[in-house]
Amino acid sequence: MKAEMSTRTVVAGTGHYVPPRVVTNRDLEKLMDTSDEWIRERSGILERHHVDDGVGTSDLAVEAARRAIADAGIDPATIDLIVAATLSPDHYFPGIGVQVQAKLGLGPIGAIDVRNQCSGFIYALSVADQYIRAGTCKRVLLVAAEVQSSNLDFSDRGRDMSVLFGDGAGAVVLEPNEDGGGRGVLSTHLFADGNFVPQLWMEKPSPRDRPTFQTAFFDEGRFFPKMDGRQVFVNACQRMPEAVRAALAANGLAIEDVDHLIPHQANDRISLMVAKGLRIPVEKVVRNIDRFGNTTAASIPIALDEAVKAGRIRPGDLVALTAFGSGFTWAAALIRW
């Protein structure tokens, strides 16, 4: 999906929001048989944010969206499409896109929900990019948000998962760059292999079961997300570098051209392995999992916003994004900032 036309999608504003409640590794030690040392060594995570009761994914999404809109300095009424990425919508249906629209008080513009888990932000970016490059939309709000903490197994049984994930949201405002300059999304590259569905999934509730909600499923913990951590780890370390290489090759660029690599923050060891696999200096890798844990679709836009606001990403820099997650799905995107 390489940009053939002169129009490119540029990021006009970024924002992120995490709920105020910080949960440290020591807090988790009180809930299950785990340790601060294990979590730090195996994942690089020191703390994450959890919502309080009554706060949903759309609430986090709206806060992040407001910040991105303010950063872009635009009138929200000029947004003509919402693309929302999440695996944890407030409701089984509808998705959060329509809630973001209503809470921002926007008119009856389209609201697309993208369901690609950890790859959700890049998948959603690819969707928004097509609308902008085709000239169909002039201003797209892309928001990625997750509330994981309300459905994690905080008993010993779920300790491999529950220590890793956190809540949060990130957003970007996207616009066409019609000045003929080189700024913007150079290309997006999406991949999937559905043979790995059970290796990282939330199996239930499933409409295949009659009735869908059964006490036995609760007792067996099948309403909680589950993963084969080793399989995910190995595949993530292989697939993210592959995706970045594909993106660079499609644009005639080399790894040395990349100024910043923003990998999905799944595990700091994975991010370091991806850097090693690509032979990219670790100083170029944006890493913030220590403070947020794995926020699934939200992790890349949170890291992007932090890096931009810190002055780390500057005009003209080449930013590479890559992600891997449930499906399996994986993806990469290149942005000339």
Binding map of ligand UT7 across residues 70-109, x = CB under 6 A, - = no contact: ----------------------------------------
- CB nearer to ligand UT7: pick between 141 and 200: 200
Out of 224, 233, 328, 330, point to the residue binding ligand UT7 (CB under 6 A). Answer: 233
From the CB of 235, what's the least distance to ligand UT7, in Å? 9
Kindly state whether residue 121 participates in binding ligand UT7, applying the rule CB under 6 A. no
Kindly state whether residue 30 participates in binding ligand UT7, applying the rule CB under 6 A. no
Out of 51, 69, 106, 163, point to the residue binding ligand UT7 (CB under 6 A). Answer: 163
50 is catalytic: no
Kindly state whether residue 298 participates in binding ligand UT7, applying the rule CB under 6 A. no
Kindly state whether residue 173 participates in binding ligand UT7, applying the rule CB under 6 A. no
- CB nearer to ligand UT7: pick between 46 and 74: 46
Kindly state whether residue 159 participates in binding ligand UT7, applying the rule CB under 6 A. yes
Q: Is 91 exposed, middle or buried (0-12, 13-18, 19+ CB in 10 A)?
A: exposed
Out of 43, 58, 188, 295, point to the residue binding ligand UT7 (CB under 6 A). Answer: 43
From the CB of 236, what's the least distance to ligand UT7, in Å? 5
Binding to ligand UT7, residues 211-230 (CB under 6 A)? 227, 229-230
294 is catalytic: yes
Q: What is the 3-state secondary structure (H, E, C) of the chain?
A: CECCCCCEEEEEEEEEECCCCEEEHHHHHCCCCCCHHHHHHHHCCCEEECCCCCCCHHHHHHHHHHHHHHHHCCCHHHCCEEEEECCCCCCCCCCCHHHHHHHHCCCCCEEEEECCHHHHHHHHHHHHHHHHHCCCCCCEEEEEEECCHHHCCCCHHHHHHHCCECCEEEEEEEEEECCCCCCEEEEEEEEECHHHHHHEECCCCCCCCCCCCCHHHHHCCCCCCEECHHHHHHHHHHHHHHHHHHHHHHCCCCHHHCCEEEECCCCHHHHHHHHHHHCCCHHHECCCHHHHCECHHHHHHHHHHHHHHCCCCCCCCEEEEEEEECCCEEEEEEEEC
Kindly state whether residue 279 participates in binding ligand UT7, applying the rule CB under 6 A. no
Contact in structure between 147 and 55 (CB atoms under 8 Å): yes
Nearest residue to ligand UT7, by Cβ distance, number only:
229
Sole window of 80-88, 155-163, 247-255, 302-310 interacting with ligand UT7 (rule: CB under 6 A): 155-163
Out of 280, 325, 327, 329, point to the residue binding ligand UT7 (CB under 6 A). Answer: 325
264 is catalytic: yes
d(CA 66, CA 17) in angstroms, rounded, equals 9
**Residue of 202, 223, 216, 197 whose CA lies nearest to 327:** 197
Query: Residues in contact with ligand UT7, total (CB under 6 A)?
Result: 20
From the CB of 232, what's the least distance to ligand UT7, in Å? 4
User: What token pair was written down for 175?
Assistant: 């616009």
Out of 64, 85, 137, 236, point to the residue binding ligand UT7 (CB under 6 A). Answer: 236
Kindly state whether residue 119 participates in binding ligand UT7, applying the rule CB under 6 A. no
Residues annotated as catalytic are: 118, 264, 294
Rule CB under 6 A: which residues touch ligand UT7? Answer: 34, 38, 42-43, 118, 159-160, 163, 200, 227, 229-230, 232-233, 236, 266-267, 270, 294, 325
